[in-house]
Structure 1
Amino acid sequence: MYDELQKRYVKEIKTNQEQSEAIKNLTTKIHELEHSLQEQRQRIEQLERKKVSWRTSAASGKKSRIPEGEVTSHRDISEKKESCCSKYLELLLKEIKKLKKENEKLSTERRALKTELAGLDEDFFEEIEDLKHAVQESVKLNNEYEKCLKQISVIYGLPYTAHL
């Protein structure tokens, strides 16, 4: 019984450590994704500013530069980039939300395990050790009683049944 409790305690500690590591990794990943999201937002803002400046220069009659080999207009390019960036941002946001939920779930479970482990202090294990010793002594005493009962049943000629 003590060994099982000790194994459970060790298992709980390992689980707790694994969950702490997972929480740490998830938090790091969330921060990375949030940073990436912020960079992408800045990039979108820059592209939008360029888009506005291209529109104003086109409206004022100036020629806009199109890189060589490009057949599409700047508006088509910026729309493609915007849609691509917005899809990427949506994916990042979904991933961040998912990771935050998982992080929250693991944090809650970790807190619950910590409170459960808090109840398993040294006194608890000493008490378990005392109970284990008492059970061993009780088993020895029961074996002695059984021997005596067998002897008494032989002396008085009574049938001894083991299930008693």
Structure 2
Amino acid sequence: MYNELQKRYVKETKTNKEQSKAIKNLTIKINELEHNLQEQRQRIEQLECKKVSWKTSAVSGKRSQTPEGGVTSHRDISEKKESCCSRYLELLLKEIKKLKKENGKLSTEKRALKNELAGLDKGFFEEVEDLKHAVQESVKLNNEYEKCLKQISVIYGLPFTAHL
């Protein structure tokens, strides 16, 4: 019982540490993604400003030639860039939402583990140590009894079965 309790305690503390690291890493990743999102929003604003200037130049009839020999307007290029940026932003937003959700779950689990560990006071661990010592002493005593039983069974010619 003591060994199981000790294993569980070690496992819980290890899990708690791992989750703390995971939360820290997720928080860092969320901050990085939010920063990237802000940069991309600024970039979109810049592109939209350029789009306005391209629209005015497209109205005046400015067009460029594609490598295949086709003709495209600045507006077509702007729409392609805008759709790429919006897809990238959508992916970033999805990733941020996913990471925030995972961060929330890990935070909740961490709080639950901390609350569980808080219930185990210092007296509990002293009691566990006392139980550990008592188990060690009883194992020693059992070994002594087993040796005595073997000697008695040899003296009286009885078969000794260790599983008894």
| Conserved? CA contact 2:66–2:72, under 8 Å | no
Matches within 5 A, 1:112-123: 112-123=112-123
- Does 2:50 align with 1:50? yes
Q: What's 2:5 paired with?
A: 5
| Alpha-carbon distance, 1:122 to partner | 1.9
Q: What's 1:125 paired with?
A: 125
Q: What's 1:33 paired with?
A: 33
Give the secondary structure class of the aligned counterpart of 1:72. strand
CA distance in 2, matches of 1:58, 1:72: 10
| Alpha-carbon distance, 1:114 to partner | 0.5
Output the TM-score relative to the length of structure 2: 0.73
* Cα root mean square deviation, aligned: 2.9
Give the secondary structure class of the aligned counterpart of 2:72. coil
Give the secondary structure class of the aligned counterpart of 2:120. coil
More RCO (CA 8 Å, sep 6+): 1
CA distance in 2, matches of 1:93, 1:19: 23
| Alpha-carbon distance, 1:131 to partner | 5.0
Q: Which amino acid aligns with 1:95?
A: E
Aligned residues: 142
| Alpha-carbon distance, 1:71 to partner | 3.9
CA distance in 1, matches of 2:82, 2:120: 56
Output the TM-score relative to the length of structure 1: 0.73
Runs of 5+ consecutive residues of structure 1 not aligned to the other structure: 145-164
Q: What's 2:79 paired with?
A: 79
% identical equivalent positions: 81
Q: What's 1:152 paired with?
A: none
| Alpha-carbon distance, 1:99 to partner | 0.5
| Alpha-carbon distance, 1:3 to partner | 2.2
Runs of 5+ consecutive residues of structure 2 not aligned to the other structure: 146-164
CA distance in 2, matches of 1:68, 1:132: 81
| Alpha-carbon distance, 1:22 to partner | 0.5
CA distance in 2, matches of 1:30, 1:136: 50
